[in-house]
Amino acid sequence: MLLSYCTNVHPAEDLDGVIDQLARYSGPVREAAGLDTLGVGLWLPAEVAHRLDTSAEDRARLRAALAEHRLQVHTLNAFPYGGFHREVVKLAVYSPTWAERARLDYVLACARVLADLLPDGAAGSISTLPLAWRAPWTRADDDEATKAFATLSAELRELERSTGRTVRIAVEPEPGCVLDTVEDVVSWLAARTGPEWPADRRIDPEYIGVCLDTCHLAVSFADPAGAVRRITDAGLRVVKVQASAALEVADLSEPGARVAVGRFVEQRYLHQVRELTSAGDVLASDDLPVALGYADRRPGLPGDGPWRVHFHVPLHHEPAAPLAATTEVLRDAVAAVRAAPHGAEAHLDVETYTWSVLPDGVDGGPRDGVQDEAGLVAGISAELRWARKHLLSDPAPAAASGTTPATTEGIDA
């Protein structure tokens, strides 16, 4: 599996900013991690993607900067459209939706740019949002999204024919979205791949697959091996794994537990929370302050079972008790993908975009609210070293036979 780290951790909304972050962060990260070449999972805001798509000169500038710092690109993150480091992002990250033409145009621009940046012989991947936030979402929206993905399939097929480069799209399920879980995204995609669908609504699984964000997977309380089997049994592939860990609280009644998790409340990003009941159901809350009962007129989660919080914790960081990180879910998920058909072709992208909003005291995070550049470089390089040691150091397991029955995820979100 090709390893990279996602540059959506760095604020950059124009091409000069993207090129500057390669020099300020990515090059030093490569050196600190002890790597001859480093993969970067670029985040290109829509304005930058469209500029690069229409300018061979600008793409040459970007390629030169990548080469100067010995960086390679085989995956892009096209989930945030723009403004990912605004003071408040929250639900804005899900716009535009896949029912809007701007989303398709953005992803197609990213695909053409990526095809021009790929190393020889490498396939590319692009992660994208799971259609939209769950509401408002109508049947008409769903039909528009279906047609958009059918168009995307055809355009990617033509891109491969004209350039010889394969680029695949990875739909990333996320708690609270239309496609909330792995089960949701598999059901939606697999139902639209059959010959009974007209060409303008048929999705090609050769070019459209799944992005397995292991923080999102953990928050949903899914079984990692079962989730991967569900994907492959449906004739789909895991195109990309976003290596990430969620925040976990095993017992909310433990002294100091609510205060400890409350330190992770912040205003920029949405931090969905799920609670596992003794009956195996999963209770949902759309943001951490709501789950804690801080929001007016909205009750919090009961806190009778363990919580998992959509807050990306640095991979090598071990939170102090009573908090923990879902690192084992990450390890089990990567092992399952590596054993699956096409698993070795999946891209592994470390995606801890939350460094700047971590509570004070986490190594690499802010001090007195200010992010230290050297600390961030050290933190990201430590994550990459951790990933190489704990996720990729063992020989890849033999490919699964596909005869093991798939298990259900047991989600009631």
Give per-residue pLDDT as tens, 128-151.
Answer: 999 999 999 999 999 999 999 999
Residue 90 has pLDDT above 70, yes or no: yes
Peptide bond into 289 cis (omega under 30): no
In DSSP notation, 11-77 reads ---SHHHHHHHIIIIIHHHHHHHT-SSEEEEB---HHHHHHHHH-HHHHHHHHHHHHHTTEE--EEE
pLDDT band, residue 400 (cuts 50/70/90):
very low
pLDDT band, residue 396 (cuts 50/70/90):
low
pLDDT at 402: 35
pLDDT at 406: 29
Residue 105 has pLDDT above 80, yes or no: yes
- What is the four-CA torsion angle of 100, 103, 109, 114, rounded to 10 degrees? -150
pLDDT mean over 168-181: 98
Rounded Cα gap, residues 196 and 327, in angstroms: 41
Task: Check residues 174 and 397 and name the one with the higher pLDDT.
Answer: 174
The number of C-alpha atoms within 13 Å of 118 and in the hemisphere containing its C-beta is: 25
Residue 408 has pLDDT above 60, yes or no: no
Instruction: Please provide residue 211's backbone torsions phi and psi, each rounded to the nearest 5 degrees.
Output: -100, 120
Strands 245-249 and 323-325: antiparallel
pLDDT at 371: 77
pLDDT mean over 191-214: 95
pLDDT at 365: 76
Token pair 């095809």 is found at 115
Task: Check residues 362 and 232 and name the one with the higher pLDDT.
Answer: 232
Residue 233 has pLDDT above 80, yes or no: yes
Q: Among residues 186, 412, 180, 231, which one has the least CA distance to residue 333?
A: 231
Containing 346, the helix (H) or strand (E) segment is none
- In sequence order, the 6+-apart residues with CB closer than 8 A to the CB of 322 are 249, 250, 251, 254, 256, 257, 260
pLDDT above 90 covers a percentage of the chain that reads 89
pLDDT band, residue 392 (cuts 50/70/90):
very high
Residue 99 has pLDDT above 50, yes or no: yes
Mean pLDDT of all residues belonging to the chain: 93
pLDDT at 411: 26
pLDDT band, residue 397 (cuts 50/70/90):
low
pLDDT above 70 covers a percentage of the chain that reads 94
Q: Among residues 94, 126, 124, which one has the least CA distance to residue 107?
A: 126
Instruction: Choose the weakest-confidence range: 245-259, 337-351, 390-404.
Output: 390-404
- What is the four-CA torsion angle of 28, 48, 124, 95, rounded to 10 degrees? 110
pLDDT at 368: 74
pLDDT at 272: 98
